[in-house]
Amino acid sequence: MGLLARIESPADVRRLTAAQVDELAAEIREFLVQSVSRTGGHLGPNLGVVELTLAMHRVFDSPRDSMVFDTGHQAYVHKLVTGRKDFADLRKRGGLSGYPSRAESEHDIVENSHASTALSWADGIAKANVVRGRTDRHVVAVIGDGALTGGMAWEALNNIAAGHDRRLVIVVNDNGRSYAPTIGGLAYALTALRTTRGYENVLSWGKKTLKRSGPPGRLAYDALHGLKKGVKDIVAPQGMFEDLGLKYIGPVDGHDTAAVERALARAKAFGGPVIVHVITEKGRGYTPAEQDLLDRFHAVGRIHPETGLPIAPSRFGWTSVFADEMVRIGRRRPDVVAVTAAMLAPTGLAPFATEFPHRTFDVGIAEQHAATSAAGMAFAGLHPVVAVYATFLNRAFDQVVMDVALHKAGVTFVLDRAGITGDDGASHNGMWDMAMLSVVPGLRLAAPRDEPTLRAALRLAVDVDDAPTVVRYPKSPLVDPIPAIDTVDGVDVLARHGAGTARDVLVVGVGALVPSALGVGELLAAHGLRVTVVDPRWVLPVPEALVKLAGEHDHVVTMEDGLVDGGVGALLAQRAREARVATPVQSVGVPLGFLDHATRDQIVADLRLRPEDIVRDVLVALNEPTAPTEG
């Protein structure tokens, strides 16, 4: 690191010459490729915002001027500029977060990595600056064209446009992509802007043409005025931004630092809300990313930096099983359609889209719209399957309740990356869904334990046409099939241990924790207890058979990778009390709170969710000795 080694703060960047800024940009790209290839992380988005981030820090004065990054996965360059250059443990415990983090730096504001929120944050900060008389401060919000497909962004724009005294600069980072190509009317409008010469350039061409055509006069003036109006109607984004009352600057080449600096300086001097439209290229400067059409470099694992190929081949996992079963169902059921919120490939819907393109709907980063649109499809005779990451369904909770469940709509929600995910940090752990959805009337939720139960759950879910259904599965590797040795009214019995007069313990495993539940059963049996290990598969609502089984045992232990407060165990305990079942239910799961970034195994150990930890806690609850019995 030549120049980069000397950058400890934004002030160091402001002291560079224009030539040095270009040199620094090249160094940063090389650093990102070499570092992220070793750790994994969001490579493509950060390669695309190098010049933009440098220009922002040269024009504005962070942290005095607040910088808010929408989604935050494109903040690696910002971290480097603000003195955080140790990427060796990126997204690992004790290392840098993959998103902005207030614990890391005063330059970071928004930690939540859910999209379309930055403009609302910026609006709030700008309002506070006005109320507190801070007229010398600016707020800069960076939002991608993909995030602009989210409705919350437009709610914010509606409010921002009303605040003419607020020093707020909105940088639209337009690269035509989110996880995949941006879709919808907004995308078409931005594409037109991207592919048409700028308004000023066309107007300059018009002036030169008129000058060559003859002496100036009224006719020439009228022609120029008409040209100016016509070109502005075509090129300037009247319907999107200026008609809202927002000043618009652009489009600007986002890889020309000097041009971006000029545009940002103009916006800063304006004194009110301004939109700066910047055109960038995701993966800029890294050939494998530039040539990739599938956006594999949006987020990568460990890769070979020279080729971009993964060091460890990807395994056939949960998402791949879902993808395959969806295609099978689609061939059998012409009424089944797929809905995604800008994540066609990450959620496994790409194969379905390839075979059934007219039955696949990408609604952009708009989970609320996805849920309600799906309710409309169900009313009209289709069965939508809405595939999202578990943590992103939080955003559509009201729609699940009031638009889907209230109307008894047959909509299936498939939640990828449910439970503890780890390295992406607090906002990406999908641990909220079971507790959150447990209050939705009529909703049924399945937590499959392996490939066969995932396929079976999905087939059953799409057969339900009068209520919402949910199928959740984890990010962890797919386990080998775990067969049932018996079934009790739909509850799978996976193991029975022990005999005689020892106390009976019922161990209930939910989804990804079923293998651990089997381990707990074996360890408890080694302490002389009789143990039955079961998997309900469909955990919401709590099966009556599970309540009955609880009453047949002396102690119940439930294990889930969701919130223990309001989770499956808590609901089973409540149903048992209502049924006058006196058996105590010991609930094991994720405590209420936010989880820092770390590996899944580290988090599981911290939360005492390993089999040996759970067994010790169960033995303490039973007043049993914690040392195994001899023989």
Model confidence band, residue 100 (pLDDT cutoffs 50, 70, 90): confident
- Return the CATH class of domain 4-290: alpha beta
Model confidence band, residue 571 (pLDDT cutoffs 50, 70, 90): very high
User: Strand, helix or coil at 424?
Assistant: coil
Model confidence band, residue 142 (pLDDT cutoffs 50, 70, 90): very high
Is 74 within 8 Å of 100 (Cβ atoms)?
A: no
Q: What is the pLDDT of residue 147?
A: 83
Query: Given 79, 167, 177, 282, which residue is catalytic?
Result: 282
Cα–Cα distances in angstroms (integers) from residue 631 to residues 344, 527, 530, 531, 532, in the given order: 55, 10, 16, 18, 21
Query: Given 395, 472, 475, 600, which residue is catalytic?
Result: 395
Q: What is the pLDDT of residue 342?
A: 85
Higher pLDDT, 316 or 275: 275
Calculate mean pLDDT across residues 25-38: 87
Place of tokens 């707990």: 520
Is residue 453 over pLDDT 90? yes
Q: What is the DSSP string of 553-599?
A: SSEEEEEEEEESTTSHHHHHHHHHHHTT----EEEEEEPSS---S--
User: Strand, helix or coil at 397?
Assistant: helix
Calculate mean pLDDT across residues 159-163: 85
Give every CB contact of residue 45 below 8 A, 6+ residues apart in sequence.
73, 74, 282, 298
Question: CA-CA distance, 305 to 126, in Å (whole number)?
Answer: 41
Give every CB contact of residue 5 below 8 A, 6+ residues apart in sequence.
85
Q: What is the pLDDT of residue 232?
A: 44
Q: Which residues participate in the annotated binding site? A: 73, 113-115, 145-147, 175, 286, 367
Mean pLDDT is lowest, of 26-30, 98-102, 311-315, 352-356, for: 311-315
Q: What is the pLDDT of residue 114?
A: 78
Q: Tell me: the pLDDT tens digits for 287-335? A: 666 666 555 656 666 666 656 666 655 555 999 999 999 999 999 999 9
Q: What is the pLDDT of residue 145?
A: 77
Is 24 within 8 Å of 16 (Cβ atoms)?
A: yes
Domains of the chain by residue range: 4-290, 318-472, 486-621
Handedness of CA 615, 621, 625, 630 (dihedral sign): negative
Calculate mean pLDDT across residues 428-437: 89
Q: Do 318-472 and 486-621 share a fold?
A: yes
Phi (first) and psi of residue 577, to 5 degrees: -60, -45
- β-pair type (491-497, 530-535): antiparallel
Q: Tell me: the pLDDT tens digits for 396-415? A: 999 999 999 999 999 999 99
Model confidence band, residue 45 (pLDDT cutoffs 50, 70, 90): confident
Instruction: Give which of 609, 367, 279, 362 is closest to 474, Cα–Cα.
Output: 609
Q: Tell me: the pLDDT tens digits for 589-606? A: 999 888 888 788 888 888
Question: CA-CA distance, 401 to 37, in Å (whole number)?
Answer: 42
Any catalytic annotation for residue 282? Answer: yes
Q: Tell me: the pLDDT tens digits for 508-557? A: 999 999 999 999 999 999 999 999 999 999 999 999 999 999 999 999 99
Is 373 within 8 Å of 413 (Cβ atoms)?
A: no
Model confidence band, residue 36 (pLDDT cutoffs 50, 70, 90): confident
Which three-class secondary structure string do you get for 111-148?
CCCCCCCHHHHHHHHHHHHHHCCCCCCCEEEEEECCHH
Is 426 within 8 Å of 595 (Cβ atoms)?
A: yes
Q: Tell me: the pLDDT tens digits for 332-387? A: 999 999 999 988 888 999 999 999 999 999 998 889 999 999 999 999 999 999 99
Calculate mean pLDDT across residues 241-261: 85
Instruction: Give which of 359, 355, 347 is closest to 327, Cα–Cα.
Output: 355
- Return the CATH class of domain 318-472: alpha beta
Give every CB contact of residue 220 below 8 A, 6+ residues apart in sequence.
210, 213, 214
Question: CA-CA distance, 181 to 116, in Å (whole number)?
Answer: 16
Query: Given 27, 51, 367, 451, which residue is catalytic?
Result: 367
Is residue 171 over pLDDT 70? yes
Q: What is the pLDDT of residue 294?
A: 53
Question: CA-CA distance, 241 to 168, in Å (whole number)?
Answer: 14
Is 137 within 8 Å of 165 (Cβ atoms)?
A: no
Give every CB contact of residue 593 below 8 A, 6+ residues apart in sequence.
none
Q: Which residues participate in the annotated binding site for Mg(2+)? A: 145, 175
Output the pTM of the full model: 0.81
Question: CA-CA distance, 311 to 37, in Å (whole number)?
Answer: 9
Higher pLDDT, 392 or 427: 392
Give every CB contact of residue 354 below 8 A, 6+ residues apart in sequence.
none
Is 295 within 8 Å of 44 (Cβ atoms)?
A: yes
* Maximal CA-CA distance, the chain: 110
Q: What is the DSSP string of 309-367?
A: -BSSPPP--HHHHHHHHHHHHHHH-TTEEEEESS-TTTTT-HHHHHH-GGGEEE--S-H
Q: What is the pLDDT of residue 298?
A: 61
Is residue 110 over pLDDT 80? yes
Is residue 443 over pLDDT 80? yes
> Encoding tokens for residue 10?
């934004």
Q: At 74, which amino acid appears?
A: Q
Place of tokens 């493509």: 44
Q: Is 167 exposed, middle or buried (0-12, 13-18, 19+ CB in 10 A)?
A: buried
Average pLDDT, the chain: 85
Q: What is the pLDDT of residue 458?
A: 98
Phi (first) and psi of residue 532, to 5 degrees: -120, 130
Any catalytic annotation for residue 395? Answer: yes
Q: What is the pLDDT of residue 517?
A: 96
The topology (CATH level 3) of 486-621 is Rossmann fold (3.40.50)
Mean pLDDT is lowest, of 88-92, 288-292, 339-343, 426-430, for: 288-292
Calculate mean pLDDT across residues 489-505: 89
Q: What is the pLDDT of residue 631?
A: 41
Question: CA-CA distance, 531 to 506, in Å (whole number)?
Answer: 6
Q: Is 245 left (phi over 0), alpha (psi -120 to 50) or beta?
A: left
Any catalytic annotation for residue 544? Answer: no
Q: What is the pLDDT of residue 235?
A: 46
Give the best-scoring range by mean pLDDT among 26-30, 113-117, 146-150, 421-425.
Answer: 26-30
Is residue 134 over pLDDT 50? yes
Question: CA-CA distance, 394 to 388, in Å (whole number)?
Answer: 10
